[in-house]
Chain A
Amino acid sequence: MTTAPLLTATATDGLLELRPGGSWIAANVAELEQLSDAVAPQLDRSGNVRLDMADVRELDTLGAWLIEKMSRRVMSAGHRAEVVGVADYYAGLIEKVRQVNRASSPPAPARNRILGKVGDIGRATLGAREDVTVFLQLLGSLCVAMLGVLRRPRSLRLTSLVYQVYRVGWRAIPIVVLITFLIGAIIAQQGIFHFRKFGADSYVVDMVGILVLRELGVLIVAIMVAGRSGSAYTAELGSMKMREEIDALSTMGLDPVEVLILPRVIALICALPILSFIGSMAALYGGLLVAWFYGGMEPAIFIARLHDAVSVTHFEVGIIKAPFMALVIGIVACSEGLRVKGSAESLGRQTTTSVVKSIFLVIVLDGLFAIFFASIGM
């Protein structure tokens, strides 16, 4: 059974005798380290050392290594160290441990911290350039694949496309409706609460209508789709990449862009405008309910005011953005998926990157559209 480890040292005219005893095994490592650290100064002072192993009841690699370390310490000082009394069944282990850790590993090169930071910035800049290249590359190959499909419409993967539309469109409706409904209700409530102070609470209809149709409907839905479907695309393509499925496709003479990416991106482009429309309607409905129950505005009046406040232009401004956002989300998600390397960690990192990057780009795109529409007077 396991017993407490011991180490007794007796010095007799120039010869230090060490008698380890008990269980020199990993389970006792805390005591073992203390014991061997305690005799270290004695080892340095003494001349030749004899290690008598007769009392050792159990030994494993860790214990054998500690004993080996002691004898190496003595030998490095130029003295002799002999290990005696080793039980037969531990002889092999002692012999094996004697051979390990011989090569001293070179110390890690010291790193200048400021230079390191500068280097990181440089690498990040190059990385950003690579991101743009990858994005444009995938956009290009999507266009090529699209041209191929236009020339030979039968090469479009219709089953896959329908399935993807079902997944990213139909299955997303409940959550999209719920979230946009709540957002619409919250905006209406805040509007009524603050506008009431200067008696302008009926203008809440204008605010909800324009805000939702022009900006929020499509933006919220795009962000949700990026989080929900973009991440799924990245994870799927990434795990296919990890298991060499994409390589298998290429070797069969098929273009992964055409087979995997085109249906996914087209599905997003189809689904996002529809989801934006549904989301906008849900948000307006949420606003209507709040205006009715919280602001005391009859639904008929709400609808009449909405009719005056928004024109079809506002709706167009919102919905035109949706396909472009879908394209950005799709390309970012798929390109990040293809950049997954062998490990599970890399899959997680690329999925996170995909979501962060596509949400960022969606918002940037929204800003660019705002400038564009303002300058053409829409």
Chain B
Amino acid sequence: MQEEEVPFAIRVRDLVVGFGKRAVIDQLSLDVRRGEILGLVGASGGGKSVLMRTIIGLIPRQSGEIEVMGAAIGGTGGRSTRNAAGRWGILFQQGALFSSLTARQNVQFPLRESLVLSDALMDEIANAKLEMVGLAPEDGDKFPSELSGGMTKRVALARALALDPAIVFLDEPTSGLDPIAAGDFDALIKTLQKTLGLTVFMVTHDLASLNTVCDRVAALADGKIVAIGQMRELLQSEHPWVRAYFHGKRSLMLQPKASQ
């Protein structure tokens, strides 16, 4: 929460990522401002997750630069990547909770690994995080296999927030949740973003969460960011793919707002 520093949480310049000869991300540039919720949309298999995983250093890039909180990110497993790890939390699509640990131990894991603190305090912090994401303390004793889909996402979010990172990456946070749970989760992300001053980078297909929680939306097509801006600016975009995305049958619910 250092307001006085760089205005961008993430800066990506001319990034190229590919598998074999096929470039999935092609000369992509993207800025994520501090304290905003950026939604990233794109076709399935179009490289959204690849972009996210490249930023967090899981996929090696071919060229380009990535800066997170003003520090350059190296390749996979590099020292700079590991140093940056304390600055971000990641919510994977399936939660990626450690199945041999209880929910509370999952949240404590990053604390235990990177800090020196008493067990009592660690329990209190883990309970606090679990409550902040809307779970009861009793849920902390459950194992991941005993949690429902929505609870898994909440525990995974609590774990991502364990070290109070400046940035959280969310990979399809509302996929597989019913509309009520998805709405709750959106509200939760918004609240936490406000209270903790988070920057949120969210890959999603959920038009409702794009519309309600995202400050800005970026559209990824053909390996590039073809449109970025507030929702209403994207709705007016002339790019054919963006038009198809936001003006398809499933996007009709967005239209009345757009006409206001």
Please indicate whether A and B come from the same complex rather than being unrelated chains: yes
Residue pair B100, A69 in contact (C-beta under 8 Å): no
Q: What distance in Å separates the Cβ of A24 from its nearest Cβ neighbour in chain B?
A: 11
Residue pair A105, B138 in contact (C-beta under 8 Å): yes
Q: Which residue of B lies closest to A105 (CB)?
A: B137
Q: Which residue of A lies closest to B128 (CB)?
A: A100
Q: What distance in Å separates the Cβ of A280 from its nearest Cβ neighbour in chain B?
A: 42
Check: B72 CB closer than 8 A to any chain A CB: no
Residue pair B129, A58 in contact (C-beta under 8 Å): no
Residue pair A26, B128 in contact (C-beta under 8 Å): no
Q: Collect the chain B residues with CB atoms within 8 Å of residue A61's CB.
A: 125, 128-129, 132, 161, 164, 196
Check: A375 CB closer than 8 A to any chain B CB: no
Of the listed stretches A91-99, A131-139, A159-167, A244-252, chain B binds A91-99
Residue pair B121, A33 in contact (C-beta under 8 Å): yes
State whether A99 and B164 are in contact (beta carbons under 8 Å apart), knowing that A29-B115, A89-B1, A345-B100 are contacts in the complex. no
Q: What distance in Å separates the Cβ of B77 from its nearest Cβ neighbour in chain A?
A: 22
Check: A283 CB closer than 8 A to any chain B CB: no
State whether A92 and B195 are in contact (beta carbons under 8 Å apart), knowing that A101-B128, A103-B137, A343-B145 are contacts in the complex. yes
State whether A93 and B195 are in contact (beta carbons under 8 Å apart), knowing that A26-B164, A61-B129, A62-B125 are contacts in the complex. yes
| A341 CA to B99 CA, complexed, in Å | 11
| A70 CA to B155 CA, complexed, in Å | 27
Q: How many residue pairs at the A-B interface have CB separations less than 8 Å?
A: 80
State whether A342 and B127 are in contact (beta carbons under 8 Å apart), knowing that A30-B116, A60-B196, A105-B137 are contacts in the complex. no
Q: What distance in Å separates the Cβ of B35 from its nearest Cβ neighbour in chain A?
A: 9
Residue pair A65, B128 in contact (C-beta under 8 Å): yes
Q: Collect the chain B residues with CB atoms within 8 Å of residue A343's CB.
A: 99-100, 143-145
| A346 CA to B143 CA, complexed, in Å | 12
Residue pair B143, A100 in contact (C-beta under 8 Å): no
Check: A1 CB closer than 8 A to any chain B CB: yes
Residue pair B118, A96 in contact (C-beta under 8 Å): no
Secondary structure dominating the interface of B:
helix
Residue pair B124, A69 in contact (C-beta under 8 Å): yes
Q: Collect the chain A residues with CB atoms within 8 Å of residue B252's CB.
A: none
Q: Collect the chain A residues with CB atoms within 8 Å of residue B117's CB.
A: 29-30, 33
A-B contact pairs, 30 of them (CB 8 A): A1-B2, A26-B163, A26-B164, A27-B86, A27-B115, A29-B115, A30-B117, A33-B118, A58-B1, A58-B2, A59-B1, A60-B1, A61-B129, A62-B164, A65-B124, A66-B121, A93-B195, A93-B196, A95-B195, A101-B127, A101-B137, A105-B137, A342-B99, A342-B144, A343-B99, A343-B100, A343-B144, A344-B99, A344-B100, A345-B100
Residues of B in contact (CB 8 Å), total 33
Q: Collect the chain B residues with CB atoms within 8 Å of residue A99's CB.
A: 131
Check: B197 CB closer than 8 A to any chain A CB: yes
Q: Give the top 7 A-B pairs by smallest Cβ distance, nearest first.
A: A342-B145, A343-B99, A60-B164, A92-B195, A100-B131, A100-B128, A345-B100
Check: A25 CB closer than 8 A to any chain B CB: yes
Q: Mark B84-124, 1 if CB is under 8 A from A, else 0.
A: 00100000000000011000000000010001111001001
Q: Mark B123-156, 1 if CB is under 8 A from A, else 0.
A: 0110111011000111000011100000000000
Q: Collect the chain B residues with CB atoms within 8 Å of residue A346's CB.
A: 99, 145
Check: B194 CB closer than 8 A to any chain A CB: yes
Q: What distance in Å separates the Cβ of A284 from its nearest Cβ neighbour in chain B?
A: 47
Extra A-B contacts (8), CB below 8 Å, given A60-B1, A60-B196, A345-B99? A33-B121, A60-B164, A61-B161, A69-B124, A89-B1, A93-B196, A101-B128, A346-B99
Q: Collect the chain B residues with CB atoms within 8 Å of residue A105's CB.
A: 127, 137-138
Q: Collect the chain B residues with CB atoms within 8 Å of residue A58's CB.
A: 1-2
Q: What distance in Å separates the Cβ of B193 from its nearest Cβ neighbour in chain A?
A: 10
Q: What distance in Å separates the Cβ of A340 from its nearest Cβ neighbour in chain B?
A: 11
Residue pair B132, A96 in contact (C-beta under 8 Å): yes
Q: What distance in Å separates the Cβ of B42 from its nearest Cβ neighbour in chain A?
A: 26
| A102 CA to B2 CA, complexed, in Å | 30
- In chain A, positions 51-102 with a C-beta closer than 8 Å to chain B are 58-62, 65-66, 69, 89, 92-93, 95-97, 99-101
Q: Collect the chain A residues with CB atoms within 8 Å of residue B128's CB.
A: 61, 65, 97, 100-101
Q: Which residue of B lies closest to A90 (CB)?
A: B1
